[in-house]
Chains A and B, each alone.
Chain A
Amino acid sequence: MFNRSSSSISNLKILSGIIVVLAILSFFVYRYFIPEQTNQPNRFDQALEKLTIELEKRWLEGDIENSYPKIGFNCTGLVENEKNIHSSYFQCNAFYMRCFLQSKANVKNPLSLGEKFSNFEFIYHGHDFDAQGNLGAKFIEKKSNQSFKIKFRDTCSKITLAPSVYSASPEENDKYIWDNFGQKTQIDTQYVSVGDVLIWANIKGIQTQTTRKHGPSTDLSFEQKKQYCAFRGGQLLQSRQFDAAVFLPSKAQNNFVYKYPYPWSKRRDAIKKLGPKNCSKIFSRECSPESYEFHSTYSPSWSGVYHSLGSYKESFDNKFYPPAKYKMSSKEFKLDSQWHRLGVRATTKIKTQIHEYNGRGIRMPEENIRSAFRCVYYN
Chain B
Amino acid sequence: MRLLQLIITLIFISSCRDVDQKSSSYLHDKFLSVYEVIELNERLVNANELKLAPGAWHSAMRLKARVNNFKTIDYCLLVKTPYEVEPGELKFVQAASDTKCSEYFFSPAIAQALSFYNLKINYADYALSLRLDKKSYDYKFKNIQSKALEISLGSLEYQGTPDRVLADGVICKKVEDDCSVSLDQCNLCENGHYYVKNGHCSSSYSKVCGIDNCGAKGEPACIRGEVATGVKDYCIQDSPVGFCSGSARVACVNKLLICE
Chain A positions near chain B (C-beta within 8 angstroms): 16, 19-20, 23-24, 26-27, 30-31, 35-42, 44-45, 48-49, 52, 55-56, 59-60, 92, 125, 130-132, 136, 138, 146-153, 155, 165-166, 177-183, 226-227, 229-236, 255, 317, 319-322, 378-379
Contacts and interface: CB of A to CB of B under 8 A. Distances in A.
Contact of B136 (A26, A39, A60, A179): A39
B51 interface: no
A179 B197 CA distance: 13
B24 A131 contact: no
B148 A153 contact: yes
A148 B65 CA distance: 13
Interface in B56-90: 69-70
Nearest to B193: A378
Given A19-B8, A150-B151, A230-B192, 14 more contacts: A23-B8, A36-B19, A38-B137, A41-B28, A45-B25, A131-B162, A148-B153, A166-B228, A177-B224, A182-B201, A230-B211, A234-B192, A235-B211, A322-B215
A36 B135 CA distance: 5
B224 A153 contact: no
Contacts of A229: 192
Interface stretch (B10-18, B91-99, B100-108): B10-18
Contacts of B156: 125, 138, 147, 149
Interface in B159-195: 162-164, 186-187, 189, 191-195
10 tightest A-B CB contacts, nearest first: A179-B225, A39-B137, A230-B191, A230-B192, A179-B228, A42-B25, A151-B150, A179-B227, A38-B135, A39-B24
Contact of A233 (B131, B192, B202, B222): B192
A35 B135 CA distance: 6
Contacts, number: 186
Interface string B127-170: 00011001111111010001111111111100000111000000
A130 B70 CA distance: 10
A36 B224 contact: no
A320 B215 CA distance: 8
Nearest to B114: A38
A87 to B, nearest CB: 18
B226 interface: yes
Contact of B24 (A40, A92, A138): A40
Given A38-B135, A179-B225, A147 B154 contact: yes
A59 B148 CA distance: 8
Contacts of B146: 52, 56
A183 B19 CA distance: 52
B29 to A, nearest CB: 7
B223 A183 contact: yes
Most chain B CB inside 10 Å of its own CB: which residue of A24, A149, A235 = A149
A271 B247 CA distance: 38
Among B162, B163, B227, B243, find the residue whose CB has the most chain A CB atoms closer than 10 A: B227
B149 A55 contact: yes
A114 B162 CA distance: 36
A149 B147 contact: no
A227 B12 CA distance: 70
Nearest to A147: B156
B149 A56 contact: yes
Contacts of A20: 4, 7-8
Contacts of A23: 8, 11-12
B214 interface: yes
Interface class of chain B by DSSP: mixed
15 contacts: A26-B15, A39-B130, A39-B137, A39-B139, A44-B29, A48-B151, A49-B142, A52-B146, A146-B153, A151-B150, A179-B224, A179-B225, A181-B226, A182-B202, A255-B228
B46 interface: no
B204 interface: yes
A45 B19 CA distance: 18
B134 A36 contact: yes
B212 interface: yes
A68 to B, nearest CB: 21
Contacts of A41: 25, 28
Contacts of A52: 142, 146, 149, 151
Given A48-B151, A178-B225, A183 B195 contact: yes
Contacts of A40: 21, 24
A181 B15 contact: no
Given A49-B140, A151-B149, A181-B227, A378 B24 contact: no
A320 B8 contact: no
Contacts of A31: 15
Given A20-B7, A52-B146, A230-B211, A37 B136 contact: yes
Given A19-B8, A23-B8, A182-B205, A45 B70 contact: no
B15 A30 contact: yes
A131 B148 contact: no
B237 interface: no
Nearest to A179: B225
B32 A131 contact: no
Nearest to B228: A179
Contacts of B29: 42, 44-45
Contact of B11 (A27, A39, A181): A27
Contacts of A230: 191-192, 210-211
Nearest to B210: A230
B203 interface: yes
Contacts of B246: 322
A182 B212 contact: no
Contacts of B210: 230
Contacts of A48: 32, 151
Contacts of B195: 182-183, 378
